[in-house]
Amino acid sequence: MIFRRLLIANRGEIAVRIIRTCRRLGIECVLAASEADLESTAAKLADRTICIGPSRSSESYLNIAAVVNAAVSARADAVHPGYGFLSENAALARRCREARLVFIGPTEDQLEAIGDKLKARRHALDAGLPVVPGGAIASPEEALARADRIGWPVLIKAVGGGGGRGMKQVHHSSQLAEALELAMAEANTAFGDARLYLERFVASGRHVEVQLLGDGEHIIHLGTRDCSIQRRYQKLLEEAPAPGLPDGLRAAIHQAAVAFGKHLRYRGAGTVEFLVDRMRNEFYFLEMNARIQVEHPVTEEVTGLDIVAEQIAVAQGQPLQLRQQDVAIQGHCVECRINAEDSARDFRPSPGTVTSAIFPAGTDVRVDTHIESGSRVPPFYDSLLAKIIVSGADRREALRNMAAALANCRIEGVHTNLDVHAALMADPTFARGGVDTSFLADFLQGGAHG
């Protein structure tokens, strides 16, 4: 089946990104947009825009019936969910199938297996992957017993989701009951699922992930990414390949990711995430994201591939044209997420109107964005404004090029975190590579970005 028309069930820069690939492939794009996004850049670029509800995401982008009805009314062949919102929702995939629409993503069974973090852990163990010691908890008493058994400190996580929501770090038994209550409420609000599980906290862990592509039969990897620069479990900067990994460890991580994909007979693009213990040179399975990632451009830049195009090809029923030996990693790439937030006020969101937007340009610079001068930044959604993606022959050159690109970026009318990224580029510890997930908190506490 060749898609003639595709509904994009998302907003912001990822909607613009999908439109760009569809244009090249000759596929017509219909945008499903909330009332807040009817005048957005994505709406201007799409061939047609359908309003799917009010500004709040619960009444629009998270409304399965509204999304499917929009796709049916537009006579679309398929639905691309982007990332976030309903991108990993098995119910949406099921409703698409029932409406004779193709869901551009993995199967319903795969979404259900991966979306539940406890199920994903069991699948990882079945596939032979190492997992962080831990497990499900049903009561404070059970949580305390498990924490004592696996060792303190521990990390509380939500079974039904990710992105840092419902996640709490606990260092002492006296803090556990309150942390469980907060995590449960947060998880229930964010995912409609209050279930929690507990893992040992790895103090010097790096967040390393592997991009997979699969067609159900063949599974390949596109190398590693490092996403250890995080604030409150939210990624801020990513790079590919992950720097400073011993060759044997990198190969083992690649092998584990592919083994997990083969175990699931995975279809589409997906990312297997690992926690790498810097002190022991060991790694553990964290989770799999069954969708396109925010950070996918760094992998595209070092492989020369269009991951959205690969997603679409698999969804059309085409087998992967690539084999592992066809994938070559060349150079290094860094991505900085530019958010509308005030770093001087604890990164408070900064909605408003962008009065001026000037982005860097050059042969090694790519900018994925949905804003321009005059764009409105609504208060209802993620604060991501743009991704500055910069390449180099090696990591040192990529960081040098990124510093220059950030110096040539100007966004006015809203506060941004450009100053934090510029300070990171000048930091000698970050420049050496291989920092862990606690680095940014310590860096910010030192006031280096001010």
Q: What are phi and psi of 123, to 5 degrees?
A: -65, -40
Please check whether residue 198 is in contact with residue 166, taking contact to mean a CB–CB distance below 8 angstroms: no
In Å, what is the CA distance from 303 to each residue of 131, 224, 297, 324? 29, 11, 10, 12
Tokens, residue 11: 């907003």
Cβ contact 222:327 at 8 Å? yes
Secondary structure class of 236 (helix, strand, coil): strand
Residues in a beta bridge with 96: none
Are the C-beta atoms of 50 and 74 separated by less than 8 Å?
Answer: yes
The neighbouring-strand residues paired with 358 are 410
Catalytic positions, written as ranges: 291
Altogether, the residues listed in the chain come to a count of: 450
Cβ-contact 75, 229 below 8 angstroms: no
**Amino acid of residue 171:** H
Whole-angstrom Cα Rg for the chain: 21
The rounded distance, in Å, linking the Cα atoms of 384 and 188 is 24
Phi first, then psi, for residue 79 (nearest 5°) are: -125, 125
Residue 295 CA, distance from chain mean position: 6
Amino acid occupying residue 329? I
Specify the long-range contacts of residues 280-284, CB closer than 8 Å, at least 24 apart: 281/246, 281/249, 282/130, 283/130, 283/208, 283/249, 283/252, 283/253, 283/256, 284/130, 284/131, 284/132, 284/202
Q: Which residue has the tokens 């991704």?
A: 387
Q: How far is CA 307 from the centre of its chain?
A: 14
CA distances from 208 to 254, 307, 312 (A): 11, 19, 26
CA 426 centroid distance within chain: 26
